[in-house]
Chains A and B, each alone.
Chain A
Amino acid sequence: MRLTRRELIKLAAAGGLGVTVLSPRQAAASAAAAAPQAMAVLVDVARCIGCRLCEGACKAYHGFPAGESDDLAPKAWTYVRFRALRTRRSHLNLGDGGADRRSYKVQCFNCVEPACASACPVAALRKTPDGPVTYDPYRCLGCRYCQLACPFQIPRFEWHSPLPVITKCNLCAERLAKGKKPACVEACPVQALQFGPRDQILAAAASRIADNPERYVPAIYGVEEAGGTSWLYVSDVPFEELGFPVVVREPLPAYTWRALGKIPGVVVALGATLTAVEAIVRRRMEMQREERERR
């Protein structure tokens, strides 16, 4: 989302004043329809040094084999993507040594209104009020409609298993339930990852840009993308250059709901019409027959 200077100042001011002052109306305007207790993570691309400790912590916590990944996989729920820059730009932490590239963590965005959860026919994927989008393999059919629906191409499927499951980052739902931070956030040595309630994280993102407008691009990725996400990104390089996908602003479940919501009306109207037509035509044929018999 592109922010105007005024919007940034407003968001930053709200952050400075604390959440309590944020009226529900303001919160709704900035943060889609996230539940009040929804948690979020801010990824600061400018700070990330590409050390991949987040990746290692994720694998260790979930019991996956260690090692570096270059894409998401059933046993790699996050990885650090490196992008070469077209024009060199001095790195916040690495200086000129890191001027030729940027790195950032990729994982499931745990959308505020997830397309995958609305697509899943058996609610194996669910949005929890705390923020995580969780997956229950015992419900799953393996139809892969979640993969089709996801605007970020995140869910992974075990293509080479006879008992496959869908896999993706669940924002460490188990840790959140115990009041802990996600494993990756805890592991980050340069505070490129910041965890907290989504409205506070949004305000923090805005103030980070407002405090240093020469460095940061005036945009927070994830404020409006797909209707808003639990992972938010600020950066000193435009998001397009970093390869962030351009996705629709409206929550995706709304697109299918517009059609699904019409079903009751269609059933009633069509059912009544067909029943009436059948009755009328049958009555008319009976009358014709009676007339013929009378003659």
Chain B
Amino acid sequence: MTLLRVRPGRALLWLLVAAAAVTAAVRYAWGLGAVTNLSDRFPWGLWIGFDLMSGIALAAGGFTIAAAVHVFKLHRYHGLLRPAVLTGFLGYLLAITALLVDLGRPWNIWHPFVMWNPRSVMFEVAWCVILYSGVLALEFGQVVLQRLRQWTLLRLTRLALPPLVIAGVLLSTLHQSSLGSLFLIVPGKLHPLWYTPLLPVLFFVSAVAVGLGMVTVEATLAERTFRHRFNVHLFTDLGRAAVVVLSLYLGLKIIDLTVRGVWPLLLSTTMESVLFMVEVGLGVILPLVLLATPAVRSRRGLGAASWLIVSGVVLNRINVAVTGMVRSSQATYVPAAGEFLITAGIVAAGLLAYTYAVQYLPVFEHESSAPVPEEGPAIRPQPDGSPRGEALLSGR
């Protein structure tokens, strides 16, 4: 078992989860003020900017690849679908976990379903989080059903996949964009480099880009950790798609900055202008150049470009939710140790859940067992009675 080798790493991850649990206990006993540096003038911090906003963005690979496979029937991406759906599902579960820590009155988290305010973006966000988590659970349920060898149930539920995936794409579109819409109500508070009526559009387009990037990042990590080989052509294709999406994103940003006439803000050296240039320069322009250069289309080059996209979008979400809000708040905000502990624990829990899922569930299918294109993702009992892919599990 190759997985035995990463055990010390797992111990560290469990330690981080335990530290976060203790921090959460303190928070529930003495209130948010006991573990955070949040204040009335700065009510949203690291947990919203990173755990929630970035977590949801990084989960975007789930709907991007699901749409490619189940709507556009690009079955060559099927091998990437399960890891992407798993990441999406875990991303949403972890975002909900972060929310349960961050909400002041988490026992009322179900209230948006019975107490409506359709004029609230947060109302839309709440519905999207829960409904799309459900969709992801059903999509990922396929993998669990396969593991449990429920072939009849598997074939029946497979029929429901296309409409389910379409619902998932709709919900993701709404959710990714609505996280940007949340900040439309703070025109006087969010720094003008980021505040724009286009926030929902920019959030959605960047989510698609980070979805593509995250799938590649994840696959390169999986190749190293789980010794699973993917076809490199898949990533060159994803890279090409990312070039299109990033170009659209950059174009929108340039038009937006020009129409609002805020280019001069970039000339002065402020914290905001530096962060903005790092975000767009290293997170958008550099990966665009890398991906558009044929010489870089190696495994390593694609991996590096994808890491840049992911970091750029994470920085964007943090800039919108946290750093871009600091100046107007007349407050200072540096996350407290407790905030970092919770965040680290949530990331660690995600990594642990991922490794356990890969260990016990057929998340990575063998390239050789990739489904034949015209049949779709067929999983049928082999002549000898064992289903495809099952050999892989028992063989490990």
Contacts and interface: CB of A to CB of B under 8 A. Distances in A.
A153 B42 CA distance: 9
A144 B43 contact: yes
A139 B122 contact: no
Contacts of B289: none
A29 interface: no
Most chain A C-beta atoms within 10 Å of own C-beta, residue among B39, B166, B178, B325: B166
A100 interface: no
Contacts of B104: 140-144, 157-158, 164-165
A145 B48 CA distance: 11
Interface string B68-99: 00111100000000000000000000000000
Residue from B125, B184, B197 with most neighbouring chain A CB atoms (10 Å): B184
Contacts of A260: 118-119, 121, 124, 181
Interface stretch (B7-15, B105-113, B246-254): B105-113
Interface in A51-71: none
Contacts of A201: none
Interface stretch (A15-23, A170-178, A189-197, A273-281): A273-281
Interface stretch (B26-34, B226-234, B354-362): B26-34
B103 A141 contact: yes
B187 A253 contact: no
A120 interface: yes
Given A259-B184, A270-B169, A274-B170, A142 B103 contact: yes
B185 A156 contact: no
Contacts of B72: 277, 281
A260 B28 CA distance: 34
B43 A163 contact: no
Interface stretch (A2-10, A91-99, A230-238, A244-252): A244-252
Interface in A204-244: none
Given A122-B117, A248-B188, A278-B71, A147 B170 contact: no
Contacts of A274: 67, 71, 166, 169-170
A28 interface: no
B120 interface: yes
A103 B236 CA distance: 66
B71 A285 contact: no
Contacts of A119: 120-122, 185
A144 B44 contact: yes
Interface string A107-126: 00000000100111111100
Contacts of A139: 108, 111, 115
B188 A164 contact: no
A163 to B, nearest CB: 7
B260 interface: no
B40 interface: yes
Contact of B112 (A115, A122, A253, A289): A122
A131 interface: no
A126 to B, nearest CB: 9
Given A147-B43, A255-B184, A274-B170, A122 B108 contact: yes
Contact of A143 (B41, B122, B184): B122
B73 A121 contact: no
Contacts of B122: 119-121, 143, 145
A82 interface: no
B274 interface: no
A87 interface: no
Given A164-B32, A253-B119, A277-B71, A141 B182 contact: no
Contacts of B166: 271, 274-275, 278
B200 interface: yes
Contacts of A165: 104-105
A53 B125 CA distance: 43
A255 B187 contact: yes
Contacts of B28: 162
A115 B117 CA distance: 13
A86 interface: no
Contact of A267 (B38, B170, B182): B170
Interface string B160-194: 00110010011001100110011011111100000
A11 to B, nearest CB: 26
B40 A142 contact: no
B123 interface: yes
Contacts of A145: 120-122, 182
B120 A118 contact: yes
A50 interface: no
A120 B170 CA distance: 23
B60 to A, nearest CB: 15
A263 interface: yes
Given A122-B115, A143-B122, A278-B70, A248 B44 contact: no
Nearest to B34: A160
A256 interface: yes
B40 A155 contact: yes
A263 B124 contact: yes
A271 to B, nearest CB: 6
A165 B40 CA distance: 12
10 contacts: A118-B117, A119-B185, A121-B112, A121-B120, A159-B32, A258-B197, A263-B124, A266-B173, A274-B67, A281-B71
Given A119-B120, A121-B123, A278-B73, 15 more contacts: A118-B120, A121-B111, A121-B112, A141-B108, A145-B121, A148-B43, A158-B104, A159-B32, A161-B31, A162-B30, A164-B104, A270-B170, A271-B170, A275-B166, A289-B374
Interface of A: 72, 115, 118-124, 139-145, 147-149, 151, 153, 155-165, 245-248, 252-253, 255-260, 263, 266-267, 270-271, 274-275, 277-278, 281-282, 285, 288-289, 292
